[in-house]
């Protein structure tokens, strides 16, 4: 009897090794019913029937688990793709000229500072033709602005200043105005909650001027810290 049951178990094991069909729960319910009937009519093969039923339960369990894992994997991939698509970071400089050139001063009205040299513009949020950073996704952004100017000679008026605007409203403005320095700089770093579609620019106020060359003394940088939508 023991020898018969052992042979039966071996037969079940080796026959199932190459006959798994991972089609999902309930795919072998007919076989399970047939095995139950055999177990009722032939007590000598009852052990084999119970083993086959257990194998069927295990296949059902693993199929359900595999389906859930595949769903979780798909959700994770979609989330990762969304994060990659919303990445935003830019860092630009006023110019990349070999010789020192100045922007301003102007009269009549403030002028938008157009930073022509881009170190990085991930997501293409900053427009090097207009000087406008268009917020691609709502979230908290870090913005940094450095201004530098050279008066040209000692005792001349120095006016290194700028205004950071969001949708036309001034939120910060580094400024260095005096006649004591021939050259000087100022920097601000702030974190702002911005909404998708907001326009961020840097203005040059009336009477101010900035000077730069390939050393990149005047820079404007921003990047998304975390999204909020």
In this prediction, residue 42 carries a pLDDT of 58
Cα separation, 191 vs 166, whole angstroms: 12
pLDDT tens digits, one per residue of 144-164: 999 999 887 776 788 889 999
Higher pLDDT, 76 or 86: 76
Residue 119 near residue 132, CB atoms below 8 Å: no
- Checking if the pLDDT of 69 tops 50, the result is yes
What mean pLDDT do residues 10-23 have?
Answer: 45
Count, residues in the chain = 229
Q: Is 98 exposed, middle or buried (0-12, 13-18, 19+ CB in 10 A)?
A: exposed
In this prediction, residue 14 carries a pLDDT of 43
Higher pLDDT, 103 or 19: 103
For the ranges 24-33, 146-155, 165-174, 181-190, the lowest mean pLDDT is seen at 24-33
The DSSP bridge partners found for residue 126 are 133
Residue 67's CB is within 10 A of a number of other CB atoms, namely 13
In this prediction, residue 59 carries a pLDDT of 84
In this prediction, residue 177 carries a pLDDT of 79
Cα separation, 105 vs 219, whole angstroms: 18
Tokens of 161: 């200043």
Which of 218, 202, 220 shows the shortest CA–CA distance to 210? 218
In this prediction, residue 34 carries a pLDDT of 53
Per cent of the chain over pLDDT 90 is 45
In this prediction, residue 132 carries a pLDDT of 97
Tell me the whole-structure pTM to 2 decimals.
Answer: 0.64
For the ranges 7-11, 108-112, 120-124, 151-155, the lowest mean pLDDT is seen at 7-11
pLDDT tens digits, one per residue of 19-44: 444 444 444 445 545 555 555 555 55
For the ranges 28-37, 63-72, 99-108, the lowest mean pLDDT is seen at 28-37
Domains and CATH numbers, the chain: 2-84 (no CATH), 87-227 (2.60.120.40)
In this prediction, residue 49 carries a pLDDT of 77
Mean model confidence pLDDT for the chain: 81
Residue 45 near residue 11, CB atoms below 8 Å: no
């Amino acid at each position: 009897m023991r020898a018969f049951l052992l042979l039966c178990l071996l037969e079940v094991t080796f026959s199932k090794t190459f006959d798994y069909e991972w089609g999902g729960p309930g795919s072998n319910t007919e076989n399970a019913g047939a095995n139950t009937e055999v177990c009722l009519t032939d007590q000598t093969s009852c052990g084999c029937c119970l083993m086959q039923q257990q194998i069927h339960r295990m296949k059902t369990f693993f199929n359900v688990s595999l389906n859930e894992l595949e769903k979780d994997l798909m959700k994770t991939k979609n989330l990762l793709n969304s994060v990659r698509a919303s990445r935003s970071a830019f860092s630009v400089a006023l110019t990349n000229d070999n010789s020192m050139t100045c922007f301003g001063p102007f009269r009549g009205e403030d002028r938008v500072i157009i930073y022509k040299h881009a170190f990085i513009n991930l997501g293409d949020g900053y427009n090097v033709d207009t000087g406008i950073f268009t917020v691609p996704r709502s979230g908290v952004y870090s913005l940094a602005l450095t201004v530098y100017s050279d008066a040209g000679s000692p005792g001349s008026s120095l006016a290194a200043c700028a205004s950071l605007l969001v949708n036309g409203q001034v939120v910060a403005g580094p400024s260095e105005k005096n006649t004591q320095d021939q050259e000087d700089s100022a920097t601000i770093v702030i974190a702002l909650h911005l909404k998708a579609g907001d326009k961020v620019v840097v203005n040059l106020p009336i009477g101010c001027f900035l000077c730069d060359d390939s050393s990149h003394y005047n820079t404007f940088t921003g990047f998304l810290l975390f999204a909020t939508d």
